[in-house]
Chains A and B, each alone.
Chain A
């Protein structure tokens, strides 16, 4: 079992994304507007004693509404500046209904790709595999009108998995636009 994990490190994102997509699209969750597709631009960084990952970029995602006030979302972004990094973010939480629709989500963020690596007594060989963190994301400036969505600012923070030691992730969403179907 241990060896199998080493051979193919399980990324929560690789499992969770299909599940999230299924959850968004599955029969029984349907309402008047079930799925929103959005584009986002963001800054994401993951910092630990063993590595620094992240960058600036953008991506696309889908968001579903299983029933007020709950929302589920999954997005994938491509980040530059510290090499090439793919960011997969899954979230579940609540939102306010109406024109002004801020949300708060519990998010799992997975960063894959290039990184700066550091060696420490706790990490005498370079860390490998994705950087995974669990945290919260809030969108205090989010507006929805007739199926169109604009979010001007999203703030996120989380705790990561580079054990031993602490990893912290930060994310800043600069602009997000979406449309519901």
Chain B
């Protein structure tokens, strides 16, 4: 072998190894102008009106019968309502021209002795070229008391994203899901995941409490080992090992579009850790994680920031419409990116 041949061989080996090991760009193939346009179509006033409508629905509703509660007899569990909010969410999806169906069941999950009627609300925007691949956008619509932040804000986010994206077409299918009875320990999302064993969920984006913000010092609590700003003026993005790339993409997209302050945390493995797992796995992303699916969770950190969390005082006047609007803008752009080029 000549020196030249050796050099060529070394170059080829280095190129192959380098190519194999170099990480793909976080926002590979992103059309930032198109994603910026998606974010720009978000109507914060309209989304806030959705929160108002959901809070009104909870105020007018009759709470579920809690007489059969087991284990946990917290007062809040006797103030969970879902029926009127569910009807309103379905009507909104239908008004956007989406195909909507309910996933209904009589069930319990061991926390209550009676069978409860539960129904997730599912709407779809079919994908143009890869319809079998699904980007799921979800939040729970049930609430304790009025539930302005928890979780009318999350459900209103899903609805506004659905409204904005329903005027476009994407490569992948976007599935919008309103989960029932999250407040009774993830009844709706747990069943939802059980019913879709073969669905190809490219990623899920789940919202729970996304409209309570405060820039005052000392308004944010955290856990030891979790670095956090002192003021509650950021959106927390949470993932696990399989969702870490999704978390990185939300973070990178936010940097590119310069939308808001975002803090991220990715937990190892499926997220179940003795100390950090429970606070990070309280919402509808958990069944996705536990079945090995990618799910990114967005939150204002709930009780780590909001003193009105799970109280009758979780009302509209506590919410920050400007920050809430930015959450929707970032989320709509992320969903559009994951779903493929807007067409």
Q: Give bound CA distance, A80 to B275, whole Å.
A: 11
Contact across chains for A81 and B268 when beta carbons are under 8 A apart: no
Chain B interface size range: 20 to 34
Contact across chains for A117 and B255 when beta carbons are under 8 A apart: no
Contact across chains for A126 and B266 when beta carbons are under 8 A apart: yes
- Taken residue by residue from 57 to 97, chain A's Cβ proximity to chain B (1 for < 8 Å, 0 otherwise) reads as 00000000000000000000000111100000000000000
Contact across chains for A82 and B21 when beta carbons are under 8 A apart: no
Q: Given known contacts A45-B225, A52-B225, A114-B268, is B17 in contact with A3 (CB within 8 Å)?
A: yes
Asked if A10 is at the interface (CB within 8 A of a chain B CB), the reply is no
Contact across chains for A82 and B275 when beta carbons are under 8 A apart: yes
The residue on A at minimum CB distance from B239 is A117
Contact across chains for B268 and A126 when beta carbons are under 8 A apart: no
The residue on A at minimum CB distance from B248 is A125
Asked if B269 is at the interface (CB within 8 A of a chain A CB), the reply is yes
User: Which B residues are in CB contact (< 8 Å) with A45?
Assistant: 225
User: Which A residues are in CB contact (< 8 Å) with B217?
Assistant: none
Q: Give bound CA distance, A124 to B237, whole Å.
A: 13
Asked if A118 is at the interface (CB within 8 A of a chain B CB), the reply is yes
Asked if B29 is at the interface (CB within 8 A of a chain A CB), the reply is no
Q: Give bound CA distance, A124 to B244, whole Å.
A: 12
Asked if B274 is at the interface (CB within 8 A of a chain A CB), the reply is yes
Asked if B267 is at the interface (CB within 8 A of a chain A CB), the reply is yes
Q: Which among A6, A45, A125 has the greatest number of chain B C-beta atoms within 10 A?
A: A125
- Smallest distance from the beta carbon of A125 to chain B beta carbons, Å? 6
Q: Give bound CA distance, A66 to B57, whole Å.
A: 78
Q: Give bound CA distance, A116 to B207, whole Å.
A: 21
User: Which A residues are in CB contact (< 8 Å) with B252?
Assistant: 124
Contact across chains for B225 and A119 when beta carbons are under 8 A apart: no
Q: Which of A80, A81, A117, A121 contacts B265 (CB 8 A)?
A: A117
The residue on A at minimum CB distance from B250 is A119
Q: Give bound CA distance, A83 to B21, whole Å.
A: 25
Q: Give bound CA distance, A83 to B269, whole Å.
A: 8
The residue on A at minimum CB distance from B15 is A3
Asked if A142 is at the interface (CB within 8 A of a chain B CB), the reply is no
Name B11-36 residues within 8 Å CB distance of A.
14, 17-18, 21, 23, 26
B residues adjacent to A (C-beta < 8 A): 14, 17-18, 21, 23, 26, 225-227, 244, 247-248, 251-252, 255, 263-269, 273-276
A residues adjacent to B (C-beta < 8 A): 3, 6-7, 45, 47, 49, 52, 80-83, 114-119, 121, 124-126
What are 6 pairs between A and B in contact, CB < 8 Å? A80-B274, A115-B268, A116-B225, A116-B276, A124-B248, A125-B248
